[in-house]
């Protein structure tokens, strides 16, 4: 069982906006502004998309945005495109000794 809870799947029509949630506790998501999001296409390595809740690395489309409210973080994909179909994983800093926990992943489908 993953430490952070994500929906198994989210879908939307091309051009629409979708939001993926990532729910933790006050010991991880809620306690720090250190939520990260990764994109993973089938058979590929994960790719960093968002860090520190809402910061985008250079080269990541501005269609991807992050936010947080309480113990739940969210990744929003605006103007959904076919190339956005992938698995998305959230992670958070945690006060435990390991310092990093992942969510179980969300499969995004463009209908």
Partner 1 sequence: EVQLVESGGGLVQPGGSLRLSCAASGFTFDTYWMHWVRQAPGKGLVWVSRINTDGSSTTYADSVRGRFTISRDNAENTLHLQMSSLRAEDTARYYCARGLGIRVFDVWGQGTMVTVSS
Are the C-beta atoms of residues 19 and 73 closer than 8 Å to each other?
no
Q: Which stretch binds partner 1 (CB under 8 A): 11-19, 61-69, 72-80, 99-107?
A: 99-107
Closer to partner 1 by CB, 79 or 99: give it. Answer: 99
DSSP secondary structure string, 30-95? GG-S-EEEEEE-TTS--EEEEBTTTBPPTTS-TTEEEEEETTEEEEEESS--GGG-EEEEEEEE-S
Q: How many residues does the chain have?
A: 111
Using CA atoms in the order 8, 12, 17, 21, what is the torsion angle rounded to 10 degrees?
-10
Closer to partner 1 by CB, 15 or 57: give it. Answer: 57
Among 7, 30, 31, 46, which residue sits at the site for partner 1 (rule: CB under 8 A)? 46
Among 13, 82, 83, 97, which residue sits at the site for partner 1 (rule: CB under 8 A)? 97
Among 45, 62, 82, 83, which residue sits at the site for partner 1 (rule: CB under 8 A)? 45
**Does 109 participate in binding partner 1 (rule CB under 8 A)?**
no
Binding positions for partner 1, rule: CB under 8 A: 2, 34, 36, 38, 40, 44-48, 51-52, 57, 89, 91-93, 97-105
């Amino acid at each position: 069982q993953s430490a952070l809870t994500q929906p198994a799947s989210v879908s939307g029509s091309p051009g629409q906006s979708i939001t993926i949630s990532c729910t933790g506790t006050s010991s991880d998501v809620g306690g720090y502004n250190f939520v990260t999001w990764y994109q993973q296409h089938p058979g590929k390595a994960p790719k960093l998309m968002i860090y520190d809740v809402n910061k985008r690395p250079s080269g990541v489309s501005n269609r991807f945005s992050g936010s947080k409210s309480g113990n739940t973080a969210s990744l929003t994909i605006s103007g959904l495109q076919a190339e956005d179909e992938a698995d998305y994983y959230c992670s958070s800093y945690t006060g435990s000794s390991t310092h990093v926990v992942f969510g179980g992943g969300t499969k995004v489908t463009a209908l």
